[in-house]
Amino acid sequence: MVSFLDEIRKIEKKWQKKWQNDEIFVANIDSSRPKWFLTVSYPYATSPLHVGHARTYGLGDIFARFKRQKGYNVLWPMGFHITGTPVLAVSWKIKNNDENEWKKMRGFISYYESTKEGIEKVVSSFSEPENVANYFAEKIIQDFLGMGYSLDTTREFTTGDPEYNKFIKWQYSILNNKGLITQGDYPILWCVNDKNAVGEDDIQDGDELNVEVNEFVGIKFKLDNDVFLVAATLRPETIFGATNVWIHPNATYNEISIDGEIWIVSKEATMKLLEQNHEIEIKRELKGDELLDVYAEVPITGRKIPVYPAIFVDTDHATGIVYSVPGHAPYDHAAIADLQKDEETIAKYNLNSENLKEIEPISLIDVKGYGEFPAVEICQKLGVKSQEDRDKLEEATQTIYKDEYYSGIMKSNTGDYVGLKVEEAKNKVADTLFEINLASPIYEPSTKAFCRCGGQIIVAIIQNQYFLNYGNPEWKEKASKALNQMLITPDKYRLSFENTFDWLDKRPCVRRRGLGTEFPFTEGEGWIIESLSDSVIYMAYYTIVRHIKENKLKPEQLKPELFDYVFLSKGNIKDLVKNSGITEQTINQMKQEFEYWYPNDLRHTAVHHISNHLSFAIFHHTAVFPEKYWLPAFSLNEMLSRDGEAMSKSKPNVIPIAQVPNKYSVDVTRLHLASIATPETVLEWKEDEVNFALQRLRKFWEYSLSVINVSNKEKIEFSFLSKVFIASVKTNLIKAMESIERFSAREYILEGYYSNIRAIDEYHKFAKHLPEMEKKTALQEVIEMMVVTMAPAIPHICEELNERMGNKDYISLKQIPDIDVSDKDLLYALQAKYMTDLIEDIDQIVKLVKTKPKKIHIYVNADWKNELYELAKTIFENEAVQIGKIMASAKESAKLNNYMSEIANEVKLMFKDPTIFRIETLSAKNQENAILGFKEFISTKYENAEILIHLSDRKDIYDPQNKSQKARPMKPALLLE
């Protein structure tokens, strides 16, 4: 027997093939229909995609399909990102026989190749970067089509295409013309061996080390001979507590002439400074001990302090010279304490021991939780014995740094900075020092790190680096205006954009490494446009790429004037034809297509792009295009995790898209991914829960098949239960349609699909006694509505059902009709809810009494109670609920003032739970009708108990326990006998 899974898997493949063969998702200009242009960010082609990506693309597909079925001419194209370093990194590692990379790639390729030889062959081919990109681009598209995505694949391109590079150059010429590109110095991580910039990829253990650039303040301590000892610090505010300077006695130092001054720094530091944009000449080399016991002048305070030896000084860290603040720096405290009792060293370097003994810590910061000298305190607390207790000293330093930074206040001995928080003082002191030219920035990596080539990593300053100036006020303002007009969904991400916009400033936009478009203003110098610039206006390129390919246009034909004309309507077509050699017809086609499709109506992507590419996309659109082409809407979703860890390409917890069709099923996975959580939550993938989607899909399939061939020749008059059923389904579908209009795919599926499956279940439960033909006809009506409305989510199964219903058209292209819900339908839906509650109540009591009732008396409330509830609802719609007010109003009501004593009691009850003033109620008559409609079901459910309905308004009803009094609208009273 063929299992359901096998069957739908076959169906999925069948329809994908048909869609492709008939090219039903290829989009062309059609001015008779409104257009809708969707983009989902193109994937990076260095690995196969996984179900986490399928969450993002799957949502996009639901939107695209929905719009298509709502009468829009939908364009959803796909391209590939291959620029930047990743492709090269993969290739480099494969070429250099990096074991891990080989292993990783073998794993990836095994999704697609079945033989060992096949896998090896593909991986070996990755030594050529273009093979990496081409292979994965092809596989990713294959995976996408295998998920049933309704892509227009005729517009594929990669960011490495030479034609595309022309487009990016055009973008940069516009940005440059508008003055949005600026130049300046910029510190970067740099390998001394390669003489090149490095990224995380290039650093040994780069992902763990997390190396950053730190800016130290190199403070200049003047010696008598106008030479400066330069001590670098992250805490310039402690300058007021300096007691001495530390030098490593055995290390080698250089005296250098730098930018017109003479400095002494460690030999290693000299080498680093050479890369940091200075004029440097090395005068001489000297040993540390040559500098001991001389005096240096502290900037700002002007005090003279001695130079002492310390072995904790690391000459490969910053300048290799340290100024000592024993009151607030644990290392300094430990070192000075060591030295003061170290007669041997004092003698060895012939230090003036009286002066040395006089050195006392200086207190300059008030810190909560500490006394005068925090460093001394913490060293005692942690039991630091000497400057060689490195671990403890590290810990002490971290703790003090944090505590002083957040809660420290500058003391009275700190000149202009008295009373400032350390957080502020730190920068102010640094600024002052820079101003009076007694300090200079020194850059150093946050951690010692080495390049994969073995070279040390330092910080270099790139001069005249190019930046995109997102800080440009006019640009920012324009972008903010664009943002304010946009739809962002879920809306909570709007704030993230606003914050990003706030801090966005200059961003370096050229790179030394990686694939990409050559930077047009420094041709031949080896500068590449940074790769995010490839991803900000490329949506426009989709509209024209087909014409470039079909007409085999050459890159050199794609002159800036062409793009100016097509995108901005600038220039003269005759000249353009002459200059480019492209026909007038082709140029006009490109222009028309752009103008037809643009703007990009919705861009859907994962949230982690907010702070970069999505924000940049807004910026660049405002810079390049006129307002009518700005981006109107973004929709976002979070990522996917498994076992609590983000599913990411480099981890073993991934489920590749390639395995979805056979491991699960496409429609099941689509349904699950879109409905299990709202887009803004990180979704945890659980196998067990996928199964739920499968069961529901099967149920839908079976229900559908059971009515597919039903043909009802005579018109069937639906009974109450059937009407209620159809009304509930319609109400659910209306909610579903409203949801998907807002791009809430989860609600759409929950309401339109899961709720309706449940409604069908319920109907079958309640309507057992109805004639078969009526049940089938009602179900058929419902299934027909569901097949067309749910096709965007589960297109394959819906196509199949549509076909089996005898239709020749594609459900993927079929219009979703407007669903009418009449007042009558709303009433039915309310009655259904009323009955669900009532049956639950009966159930509850039956369980409590533990005997089987022979008679079930249902007491429907007196009419005046509805009147009272309605009155309360009106009065308290917008104001505080008060008992006196309702009594007074009731008294004035002709209908109610006869019942004032009962009302007094009722109102008291009502006030126990003021929420009661909000509910929708049913009149006694409508309650009765509902109960009558369900009477047979209830009776059967309780083993043919007799159902008796009593209207409390009637005089001589059977009511031995006076239950009728307790009946409330929507809550009838019960008596079981």
Region 467-486 residues binding RNA, contact defined as CB under 7 A: none
347 binds RNA (CB under 7 A): no
Question: CA angle at residue 954 from 949 to 958, to 5 degrees?
Answer: 55
Token digits of residue 541: 């390129």
188 binds RNA (CB under 7 A): yes
- Collapse the DSSP code of 128 into the 3-class scheme (helix H, G, I; strand E, B; otherwise coil) and give the result: coil
- Of 186 and 864, CB closest to RNA: 186
Token digits of residue 871: 């009155």
185 binds RNA (CB under 7 A): no
In whole angstroms, the minimum distance from the beta carbon of 13 to RNA comes to 23
- Of 191 and 393, CB closest to RNA: 191
678 binds RNA (CB under 7 A): yes
Q: Please, are residues 423 and 406 in contact by the beta-carbon 8 Å criterion?
A: yes
Torsion angle, alpha carbons of 337, 338, 344, 345, to 10: -90
- Of 154 and 496, CB closest to RNA: 496
609 binds RNA (CB under 7 A): yes
Rg (CA), the chain: 38
Instruction: Return the range that interacts with RNA (CB under 7 A); candidates 150-158, 164-172, 611-619, 800-808.
Output: 611-619
Instruction: Return the range that interacts with RNA (CB under 7 A); candidates 254-262, 433-441, 470-478, 603-611.
Output: 603-611
Instruction: Return the range that interacts with RNA (CB under 7 A); candidates 68-76, 307-315, 556-564, 875-883.
Output: 875-883
- Of 93 and 547, CB closest to RNA: 93
Given 510, 540, 666, 801, the residue binding RNA (CB under 7 A): 510
x/- track of binding to RNA for residues 756-785 (CB under 7 A): -----x------------------------
Given 699, 776, 814, 885, the residue binding RNA (CB under 7 A): 699
682 binds RNA (CB under 7 A): yes
CB-based burial label for 358 (10 Å; 0-12, 13-18, 19+): exposed
In whole angstroms, the minimum distance from the beta carbon of 860 to RNA comes to 12
887 binds RNA (CB under 7 A): no
Q: Which stretches of 265-326 are DSSP H helices?
A: 267-273
12 Ramachandran zone, left/alpha/beta (phi>0; psi -120 to 50):
alpha
Chain CA centroid to CA 86, Å? 21
Kindly report the number of other CB atoms within 10 A of residue 301's CB atom: 16
In whole angstroms, the minimum distance from the beta carbon of 755 to RNA comes to 8
- Of 689 and 738, CB closest to RNA: 689
In whole angstroms, the minimum distance from the beta carbon of 197 to RNA comes to 3
- Of 647 and 975, CB closest to RNA: 975
669 binds RNA (CB under 7 A): no
Torsion angle, alpha carbons of 413, 414, 417, 420, to 10: -70
- Of 405 and 434, CB closest to RNA: 405
Give 813-816's long-range contacts (Cβ < 8 A, gap of 24+).
813/24, 813/68, 813/69, 814/69, 814/788, 815/69, 815/70, 815/71, 815/788, 816/66, 816/69, 816/70, 816/737, 816/788, 816/789
In whole angstroms, the minimum distance from the beta carbon of 76 to RNA comes to 20
In whole angstroms, the minimum distance from the beta carbon of 194 to RNA comes to 11
| Alpha-carbon distance values, 716 to 723, 766, 772, 774, 779 (Å) | 12, 19, 11, 7, 13
Give every CB contact of residue 289 below 8 A, 6+ residues apart in sequence: 247, 249, 250, 309, 349
- Of 357 and 368, CB closest to RNA: 368
Q: Please, are residues 516 and 529 in contact by the beta-carbon 8 Å criterion?
A: yes
Kindly report the number of other CB atoms within 10 A of residue 892's CB atom: 9
Residues 141 to 180: which contact RNA by CB under 7 A? none
Instruction: Return the range that interacts with RNA (CB under 7 A); candidates 412-420, 549-557, 676-684, 728-736.
Output: 676-684
Question: CA angle at residue 391 from 407 to 338, to 5 degrees?
Answer: 90
Token digits of residue 589: 């086609």
In whole angstroms, the minimum distance from the beta carbon of 656 to RNA comes to 18
Given 214, 611, 706, 719, the residue binding RNA (CB under 7 A): 611
Residues 201 to 240: which contact RNA by CB under 7 A? 201-202
Q: Please, are residues 84 and 514 in contact by the beta-carbon 8 Å criterion?
A: yes
- Of 99 and 913, CB closest to RNA: 913
612 binds RNA (CB under 7 A): yes
**Residues in a beta bridge with 322:** 246
In whole angstroms, the minimum distance from the beta carbon of 508 to RNA comes to 5
Instruction: Return the range that interacts with RNA (CB under 7 A); candidates 182-190, 553-561, 663-671, 886-894.
Output: 182-190
Token digits of residue 702: 């079976």
Residues 61 to 100: which contact RNA by CB under 7 A? 81, 83-86
Residues 522 to 541: which contact RNA by CB under 7 A? 530-532, 535
In whole angstroms, the minimum distance from the beta carbon of 482 to RNA comes to 20
x/- track of binding to RNA for residues 719-758 (CB under 7 A): -------------------------------x---x----
Q: Residue 1 is inside which H or E element, if any?
A: none
Residues 627 to 666: which contact RNA by CB under 7 A? 646
Token digits of residue 240: 């007021």
Residues 483 to 502: which contact RNA by CB under 7 A? 492, 495-496, 499
- Residues 82, 94: Cα–Cα separation, whole Å: 17
435 binds RNA (CB under 7 A): no
Size of the site for RNA (CB under 7 A): 90
- Residues 332, 328: Cα–Cα separation, whole Å: 8
- Of 354 and 879, CB closest to RNA: 879
Name the packing angle between helices 99-109 and 116-125 (round to 10°).
120
x/- track of binding to RNA for residues 447-466 (CB under 7 A): ---------------x--x-
In whole angstroms, the minimum distance from the beta carbon of 688 to RNA comes to 4
Residues 898 to 927: which contact RNA by CB under 7 A? 912-919
Residues 293 to 322: which contact RNA by CB under 7 A? none
692 binds RNA (CB under 7 A): yes
User: DSSP string of 720-752?
Assistant: HHHHHHHHHHHHHHHHHHHHHHTT-HHHHHIII
Question: CA angle at residue 43 from 654 to 129, to 5 degrees?
Answer: 95
Token digits of residue 62: 């639901």
Give every CB contact of residue 114 below 8 A, 6+ residues apart in sequence: none
403 binds RNA (CB under 7 A): no
x/- track of binding to RNA for residues 838-857 (CB under 7 A): ---x-xxx--xx--------
Q: Residue 237 is inside which H or E element, if any?
A: none
Residue with tokens 């609802």: 873
943 binds RNA (CB under 7 A): no
- Of 85 and 927, CB closest to RNA: 85
In whole angstroms, the minimum distance from the beta carbon of 191 to RNA comes to 9
Q: Please, are residues 487 and 634 in contact by the beta-carbon 8 Å criterion?
A: yes
- Of 904 and 919, CB closest to RNA: 919
- Of 325 and 636, CB closest to RNA: 636
Give every CB contact of residue 141 below 8 A, 6+ residues apart in sequence: 78, 151, 153, 156
Given 272, 506, 511, 723, the residue binding RNA (CB under 7 A): 511
Given 225, 880, 894, 901, the residue binding RNA (CB under 7 A): 880
